[in-house]
Structure 1
Amino acid sequence: MNFITLPKCKLALSRGLEKGNTEFTLKDWVTTVYDADSRRWLSINCREGKELLMDTGEDEEPFEKAFPICAVIREEIDAGPPDLNALVFNVDGKVLCRSTDPYDDVTPGTHYAPLSDYHIPAHTKVLGRDELIELERLIAFVDIVTPVASSSPAQERLVFKYYQYVYGIAGNWNSIHIGAKLSDHPHIAPVRHVIVDETDRSRVVGFTMPYYPVDDLRTQSSSRASRPFHLKLKWIQQLMRTVDDLHLKYGVVHGDLHEGNMMIDPATDNLVLIDFGCAQKIGTPQNHYHHRAALTHEPPRAPLLDIGEDIKHVLHAVYRLVTGIIGGRSDGNGGFIVTTSAHIREGEWVKAPNVTLDHPIEEYQSLCVNWLRARNAGPRITKHCQASEPLDYPDYMPPPEVDIKAYKRELADPNLRPRYQPPCEPEWEGLLEDMRGFGWSWEMWSAEWIKELRGLPYATSGRNFLRRKATAAGLSVLGWERPLTAHLDRTRPLLANGKYQDEYVGAGAAPTTQRKRKHSAGQENVVDQDTEQDGDEHGGRTLDSEGVTPTKRVTRSATKKKAGNAGPTPCEPTRKVAAPKRKRKAAPSKAKE
């Protein structure tokens, strides 16, 4: 599920969160909006606004028609209460209803796998959310941070990527493993830290990668009207060699190769690929099927990402950067000629205005043609294990026990038993660059699978549930909310968990201090030590060869807390339970005569 962050209002929307055509949503635009500023989720209902706000043309910018409504939502969030959960308004932007009812809370909860489930190198450093200071908020689920223990916070800037919902599991799982295992590759953005929650410091919530203080190639190319765009031939060569390494050496497909994911490192003047959120091993189902496939060896019929998609996207990206032609060009008679791989291979390239090339344009075209010829004549990898040095990590994040039990209940119930078909195998006929993706087929979405993916009606934990249901069941949920930018106290550092550093007392608040506590007579002396691991100037913890932390703080209070914090048995919350009325105090009785 892709989120599009609208930069002016800092709201993120996704077509996947829009409600379908039911008796209540035939005319209303009903969706869930994510506020990238405060990291809050809101339920939105625009009366009679479905036809007006839905995109109708391919030339329209995504959610272009919803921009005025999103401005109204932004104003309500900034001026409204911090516990605002739902908004109802008409197409003119007039607010009809504001709700702070906890039942209207649509904040999702999701599963964060323990650190021991990740197969990451021993040199990978681990930090808690409370060991990162927020510097800037970029887009949904992406911030710029710096480590608390950094000696130069202004210079050591990192990109912190995290997830808060079920559809982020696959992207986080693959990004961490690929970025950590290929951290030495000169043209792949490495994973600097694995980030865990600050409560028990064991659940992985995200990762950090280097921050490149330059625009990506898409932004540089699109702004060539106001400033020259310099494109070097060596960057194209580095791009093609890196894609070859991913496919033929490591058995990985990137899945989202476009100019926006291509950066130029100013320190080395080399091209670097970022954003492996759509990447996966060659031959595994697409990320949309990650959740069901993690439960069974018989995944539903799902299209497989193939290396031909990556090759086609590289070809089109180079063509767009050189010629400035996006999608196609006019035929001179009011028609539109769609750019195909054949046009790029055989047609004449014309350099776009204000684009500077360090080699003749013919060399850029011949480089593409020769690379394609070599790839078409080379090995056709259809499975991850066919690569020369395949990356070794599990295909899917191990599901939590509650999901396994729910899946077994489905198998035992004939009315819920899922129907499986073998996965789609790609057809390896023709040229790689002429292959087309299988597209998205709603027929693959059986009602049984949707029910499992979204969670059972009273699910309170697992990979997908609602926070209000977990709270009603007495379970704790990891919080992500933070103050609005307009309400920030700039004189106080804000941690990545949304708390100010001076008011938060956590395990990572003072990572270099040593505290000793002596217990009363008859008890053992317990020593708490939070010392930095040797060679880690950021206060991060290194991992042993099995991917677990070599040391762990254990105190008497922590032992008691663990023993007495089993939590109540999850129950099935009702739709809405009214708060019990407060009993009035009885009037004092008269004394008996």
Structure 2
Amino acid sequence: MINPQDRFWSEGQNYYGPSEDPTTQTYCNVWDWDQLRMTKVKGTAKIFPPDEDRELSILAQFADYLSPEVSAITVDDEGLLTGASTDPEEDDTLFLAYIPFSSCESLTNCSTIQHSKLQELDRLGPFVDLVSYKNESGIPQKVVFKFNVLNKPLRLQMAWDELNILKNLPPHPNIITFDRIVLEDQESRVIGFTTKYIPGGTLADPKIPFRFEWLQQLTQVVDFLNLELGIMHQDIAPRNLFIDPYTQKIVLFDFDRAASGKQRLYDGRDDVSSVVFTLYELITNDKSFSGIPHWDRNIDMVQSISEWPSNRELDSEVSKFRNFLNEWVATRRSDGDMERYLNAPHRLTWPDLPTAPDYSVKFEMGTTWDGKANWTTGHRSRHTAMKMGQYCFRWERPPQSRSLIEAEHSVK
């Protein structure tokens, strides 16, 4: 089940006047990652002051009880529900035209699965489900399904890059295994992908012991990604590390922030620094540094700490971990490390993100100065696209709490 703290996300507050005036009419578009739907929450600036995101806790009270047809709710200055609207004009969800599989030449050699053949087992987090399907031999497969519902340029690029990286990575015991591309059923558009499921939870759980050999494996796989393939993961953290219970090896996953060469390479997100902060957090269970923006962090913040208190079961002394880490960092931080990364001998490459043809279809947006209809192309609301007869894949689903109850009743 999705962590309640991660379930809702606001696109911000929108004011029909000065935000300082408590009577100014205000609305906030809030995403519910559990139901994969956006709801407009309306009220005044008094209940929705700038940057406080009060709309999240307000919608959380009602989200599981709203009809799927509800596009907007209104609350009073106490946060109490005063109205609900099913008017589709209130729905500000942007139209997301997924790319046809036939247009993705870089993916043609990948196995595929239709979305309708996936059976939901759990919702692990935003954009991540645990699902199962039967393969061509009728054998059930339990996998992780990763997808994107946001029409945001960066999010679309991240999804495209991660898909291409994972499907191009050579098999490696310390990297998550790519499984299949997921296609929606009607027009075979690419809506996500699946990877191997590894049970047991991530190393973010301080109850999971940590071995010295896993640090060695982590540094080795980072060297392989950086210096052989020219890939910078840029999000190495305990939450993105598994221990495979069958192989007893560490496994790195979640490549949606990964960079290839200079493309999407961010300051402060280099993998060497991330390994340092990751080991510190693994040993001490001190998560304070993970809350510091990556551009404000440097490894001296933790390496200068004389003693790292051990708050996790380890198979070796802390000094052994730190000595190995320091030697590895010194090697990687030597002159020419960035050049070796940029000139990796087996750099992974893939084509740019294609543009779906749907955005070339003209739609009416307002009028010109002389009162004539203004026709344009590009991004549009989902409501506009549907009025024009464009195909829209719909992600909406019941809240998981209701799905679990229905599943229990079906068993009885």
Asked if residue 262 in structure 1 is aligned to residue 262 in structure 2, the reply is: no
Structure 2 partner of 1:71? 60
Kindly provide the CA deviation profile for residues 277-325 of structure 1, in whole angstroms up to 9, marking residues without a partner as x. 11131212x4xxxxxxxxxxxxxxxxx4258632222211111111233
Task: State the 1:266 CA deviation.
Answer: 1.0
Structure 2 partner of 1:422? none
Query: What is the aligned counterpart of 2:151 among 144, 155, 166?
Result: 166
Measure, in 2, the Cα distance between the counterparts of 1:85 and 1:189.
Answer: 38
Task: State the 1:135 CA deviation.
Answer: 1.6
Measure, in 1, the Cα distance between the counterparts of 2:98 and 2:341.
Answer: 26
After TM superposition, the structure 1 = structure 2 runs for residues 393-404 of structure 1, keeping only pairs within 5 Å, are 393-394=350-351, 396-401=352-357
After TM superposition, the structure 1 = structure 2 runs for residues 201-220 of structure 1, keeping only pairs within 5 Å, are 201=188, 203-218=189-204, 220=205
Asked if residue 111 in structure 1 is aligned to residue 97 in structure 2, the reply is: yes
Task: State the 1:6 CA deviation.
Answer: 6.7
Structure 1 partner of 2:306? 348
Measure, in 2, the Cα distance between the counterparts of 1:468 and 1:176.
Answer: 29
- For the aligned residue pairs, the C-alpha RMSD in angstroms reads 3.1
Kindly provide the CA deviation profile for residues 80-139 of structure 1, in whole angstroms up to 9, marking residues without a partner as x. 322000112134221122110010112222132232444547753111112211222222
Q: 1:148 to 1:492 in 2, by over 3 A?
A: farther
Structure 1 partner of 2:284? 323
Measure, in 2, the Cα distance between the counterparts of 1:217 and 1:327.
Answer: 16
Structure 1 partner of 2:332? 375
Identify, as 1 or 2, the structure richer in strand.
2
Identity %: 24
Structure 2 partner of 1:42? 39
Query: Which structure's CA Rg is the greater one?
Result: 1
What's the TM-score, normalizing by structure 2? 0.82
Measure, in 2, the Cα distance between the counterparts of 1:402 and 1:172.
Answer: 19
Structure 2 partner of 1:472? 387
- Segments of 5+ residues of structure 1 without an aligned counterpart are 56-62, 222-227, 287-303, 329-337, 407-456, 494-593
Which residue identity is paired with 1:254? H
Task: State the 1:459 CA deviation.
Answer: 6.2
Kindly provide the CA deviation profile for residues 461-520 of structure 1, in whole angstroms up to 9, marking residues without a partner as x. x5x431101112222211222234455443899xxxxxxxxxxxxxxxxxxxxxxxxxxx
How many residues align? The count is 384
Structure 2 partner of 1:135? 121
Query: What is the aligned counterpart of 2:12 among 3, 8, 18?
Result: 18
User: Secondary structure of the residue that 1:215 maps to in structure 2?
Assistant: coil
User: Secondary structure of the residue that 2:122 maps to in structure 1?
Assistant: strand
Task: State the 1:352 CA deviation.
Answer: 2.8
Q: 1:217 to 1:129 in 2, by over 3 A?
A: same
Which residue identity is paired with 1:467? R
Task: State the 1:264 CA deviation.
Answer: 1.1
Measure, in 1, the Cα distance between the counterparts of 2:138 and 2:93.
Answer: 36
Asked if residue 185 in structure 1 is aligned to residue 172 in structure 2, the reply is: yes
Query: What is the aligned counterpart of 1:175 among 155, 162, 167?
Result: 162
Q: 1:130 to 1:492 in 2, by over 3 A?
A: farther
After TM superposition, the structure 1 = structure 2 runs for residues 512-551 of structure 1, keeping only pairs within 5 Å, are none
User: Secondary structure of the residue that 2:242 maps to in structure 1?
Assistant: strand
Measure, in 2, the Cα distance between the counterparts of 1:174 and 1:339.
Answer: 26
- Segments of 5+ residues of structure 2 without an aligned counterpart are 290-295, 363-373
Q: 1:390 to 1:86 in 2, by over 3 A?
A: same
Structure 2 partner of 1:420? none
Query: What is the aligned counterpart of 1:305 among 261, 266, 270?
Result: 266
Kindly provide the CA deviation profile for residues 49-102 of structure 1, in whole angstroms up to 9, marking residues without a partner as x. 233x845xxxxxxx6x6664233232xxx3332200011213422112211001
Kindly provide the CA deviation profile for residues 508-538 of structure 1, in whole angstroms up to 9, marking residues without a partner as x. xxxxxxxxxxxxxxxxxxxxxxxxxxxxxxx
Asked if residue 386 in structure 1 is aligned to residue 372 in structure 2, the reply is: no
Q: 1:365 to 1:197 in 2, by over 3 A?
A: same
What's the TM-score, normalizing by structure 1? 0.59
Contact 1:161/1:207 (<8 A) preserved? yes
After TM superposition, the structure 1 = structure 2 runs for residues 66-105 of structure 1, keeping only pairs within 5 Å, are 68-74=57-63, 78-105=64-91
Kindly provide the CA deviation profile for residues 401-430 of structure 1, in whole angstroms up to 9, marking residues without a partner as x. 565799xxxxxxxxxxxxxxxxxxxxxxxx
